[in-house]
Amino acid sequence: MPIDAKVVQQVAVLARLQVEASEEARLVKELTSILSYVEQLQDLDVSGIEPTSQVGEGTKAPLREDEVKPSNVRDEALAQAPDRDGDYFRVPQVV
């Protein structure tokens, strides 16, 4: 599907990324250019090929024991909150 301003805005909504109208043309051009470039992957025959989502599959590292280890970052972490209400992080209400 060709990228146009409408598609860019739809993707922007999915990504929660504000795209100004003034940026649309540039983004259309750039994304089209990149997607055209990656089209070359369609030339390859990948039938029967397993996808690699992770190199090094097959390690037998042990899993973590079910142990509680309290963390002490709570105060430092809450102190960084852009907005808080006592113990809670606070955000504008979901509307």
User: 31 to 60, contacts with other proteins by CB under 8 A?
Assistant: 31, 33-35, 37-42, 44, 46, 49-60
Q: Which helix (H) or strand (E) holds 85?
A: strand 84-85
Q: Which 65-84 residues touch other proteins, going by CB under 8 A?
A: 65-71, 73-74, 76-78, 80-83
Taking the complex as a whole, the smallest distance from the CB of residue 8 to other proteins amounts, in Å, to 7
Handedness of CA 29, 31, 34, 38 (dihedral sign): negative
User: Is residue 21 a contact point for other proteins (CB under 8 A)?
Assistant: no
The size of the interface with other proteins (CB under 8 A), counted in residues, is 71
Q: How far apart are CA 92 and CA 53, in angstroms?
A: 37
Minimum distance, C-beta of residue 83 to other proteins, in the bound complex (Å) = 7
